């Protein structure tokens, strides 16, 4: 049984800069974090780091068609990584920040390994969580992210101490921001000029049904 991962405890409402910087240093040096979002805990790593991405694929037993997401601070970063029509921008403005992942056509700025190989799309997420936002602010660029849902589990893990114990050295650190949610984000595909619900999660999707 692997040992317990490093735990970095960060206040969920008022993240302490020194601990945020500690977590961000792990990302910058190619490490893999488990961290809290406004939906559930997630894996996070540097946008272009292939080794960290491969570690997430292994942990989640995800195939090459698995959709990854970029977690960004706000709408100003989205246009760099995704093509957004006017109608889609209005929708994004209304529903962000929040527990939604939007599937959009990726730009050339997105590494090919992060895109859906068939559709050339990318998930974009603007989380409404102080720790997520603090990490992104300190990092100065988006994180690559994936829901912390392990093979055989029906719902994401919620207890950061249990996450650390179960994952062991398969992640470099667990950011403990208190108990997490049990539902992932809702996933909305905006690539065909309308809204298609791909996953019903914690975000309300009744407006699109």
Q: How many CB atoms lie within 10 A of CB 48?
A: 14
**53, part of any domain:** yes
Q: What tens-digit pLDDT sequence spans the chain (209 residues)?
A: 356 789 999 999 999 999 999 999 999 999 999 999 999 999 999 998 999 999 999 999 877 667 779 999 998 888 899 999 999 999 999 999 999 999 999 999 888 888 888 889 999 999 999 999 999 999 999 999 999 999 999 989 999 999 999 999 999 999 999 999 999 999 999 999 999 999 999 999 999 98
Domain assignment present for 201:
yes
Query: Do the strands 100-106 and 82-83 form a parallel or antiparallel pair, or are they unpaired?
Result: antiparallel
CB neighbour list of residue 63: distance below 8 Å, 6 or more residues apart: none
Range of the domain at 140: 7-208
pTM: 0.93
CATH of the domain at 106: 3.90.870.10
In a domain, 1, yes or no: no
**How far apart are the C-alpha atoms of 173 and 19, rounded to whole Å?**
12
Domain assignment of residue 2, yes or no: no
Classify residue 95: in a domain, yes or no: yes
CA–CA gap between residue 181 and residue 118 (Å, rounded)? 31
């Amino acid at each position: 049984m692997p040992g317990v991962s490093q735990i970095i405890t960060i206040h969920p409402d008022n993240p302490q800069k020194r601990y945020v910087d500690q977590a961000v240093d792990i990302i910058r040096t190619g490490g893999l974090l488990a961290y809290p979002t406004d939906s559930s805990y997630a894996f996070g790593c540097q946008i272009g780091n292939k080794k960290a991405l491969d570690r997430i694929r292994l942990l989640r037993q995800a195939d090459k068609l698995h959709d990854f997401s970029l977690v960004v601070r706000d709408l100003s970063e989205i246009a760099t990584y995704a093509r957004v029509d006017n109608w889609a921008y209005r929708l994004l403005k209304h529903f962000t920040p929040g527990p939604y992942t939007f599937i959009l056509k990726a730009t050339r700025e997105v590494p090919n390994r992060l895109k859906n190989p068939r559709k050339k799309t990318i998930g974009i997420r603007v989380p409404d969580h102080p720790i997520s936002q603090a990490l992104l602010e300190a990092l100065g660029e988006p994180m690559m992210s994936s829901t912390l849902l392990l093979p055989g589990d029906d719902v994401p893990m919620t207890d950061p101490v249990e996450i650390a114990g179960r994952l062991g050295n398969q992640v470099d650190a667990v950011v403990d921001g208190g108990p997490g949610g049990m539902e992932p984000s809702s996933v909305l595909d905006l690539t065909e000029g309308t809204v298609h619900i791909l996953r019903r999660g914690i975000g309300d999707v009744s407006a699109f049904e």
